[in-house]
């Protein structure tokens, strides 16, 4: 019958780690379903953002979208939202979840915070809640946060 974790995972029988302590690559790659259950939820942040600037009618890029938690919340208000996520298992989980909950005004694409995969001025708003590791070193050189802000402005 298995433990409670096995029954709730997408992949029955797969061992769930006791801890992910500093093993984010493995967590994102192997356990997007577990990540989704415990990731920071952002409804209040998105609601406040909508109250302040009004997301209605906007095309939004949600950078570092993970399993889509913030993307689906933005979709409640925006015309369309594109989740940008480098980890394929996270995007796959988000797409599966999207089909389950029936959100039509969202999409997910591969991309990095420091090299957002859109043409200049092609979206109305770029946000990340809290998906971008701002102080980490970038594989493109420099610090991810600085590159994210520069790229989001374009």
Digit-coded pLDDT (tens) for 62-76: 999 999 999 999 999
| Burial of 80 per CB tally in 10 Å (0-12, 13-18, 19+) | middle
Ranking 84-98, 105-119, 134-148 by mean pLDDT, the lowest is 134-148
> Which pLDDT does position 1 carry in this prediction?
35
What is the rounded average pLDDT of the residues 16-42? Answer: 70
| Contact of 76 with 16, CB cutoff 8 Å | no
Percentage of residues in the chain having pLDDT higher than 90: 49
More confident residue, 20 or 52: 52
Tell whether the model's pLDDT for residue 144 goes beyond 60.
Answer: yes
pLDDT level of residue 125 (50, 70, 90 thresholds): very high
User: Within 10 A of 44 (CB to CB), how many other CB atoms are there?
Assistant: 9
> What local confidence, expressed as pLDDT, does residue 8 receive?
44
Distances (CA, A) of 149 to 7, 87, 152: 41, 21, 5
Mean pLDDT along residues 55-63? 96
CA dihedral angle for residue 102, residue 66, residue 145, residue 147, rounded to 10 degrees:
-70
What is the distance of C-alpha 5 from the center of its chain? Answer: 23
At residue 102, does pLDDT exceed 70? yes
CA atoms of 108 and 75, how far apart (whole Å): 12
Number of C-beta neighbours around residue 8 at 10 A: 13
pLDDT band at 37 (very low <50, low <70, confident <90, very high): confident
Q: Give the pLDDT band (50/70/90) at residue 95.
A: very high
The confidence score (pLDDT) of residue 33 equals: 80
């Amino acid at each position: 019958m298995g433990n409670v974790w096995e029954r709730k995972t997408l992949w029955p029988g797969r061992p769930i780690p006791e801890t992910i302590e500093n093993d984010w690559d493995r967590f994102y790659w192997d356990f997007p379903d577990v990540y989704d259950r415990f990731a920071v939820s952002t409804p209040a942040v998105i609601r406040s953002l909508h109250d302040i600037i009004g997301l209605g009618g906007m095309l939004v890029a949600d950078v570092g979208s993970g399993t889509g938690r913030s993307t689906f919340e933005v979709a409640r208000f925006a015309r369309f939202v594109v989740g940008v996520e480098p980890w394929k298992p996270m995007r796959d989980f988000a797409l599966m979840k999207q089909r389950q909950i029936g959100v039509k005004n969202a999409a997910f694409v591969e991309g990095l915070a420091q090299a957002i995969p859109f043409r200049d001025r092609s979206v109305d708003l770029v946000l990340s809640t809290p998906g971008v590791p701002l102080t980490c070193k970038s594989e493109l050189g420099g610090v991810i946060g600085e590159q994210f802000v520069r790229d989001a402005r374009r």
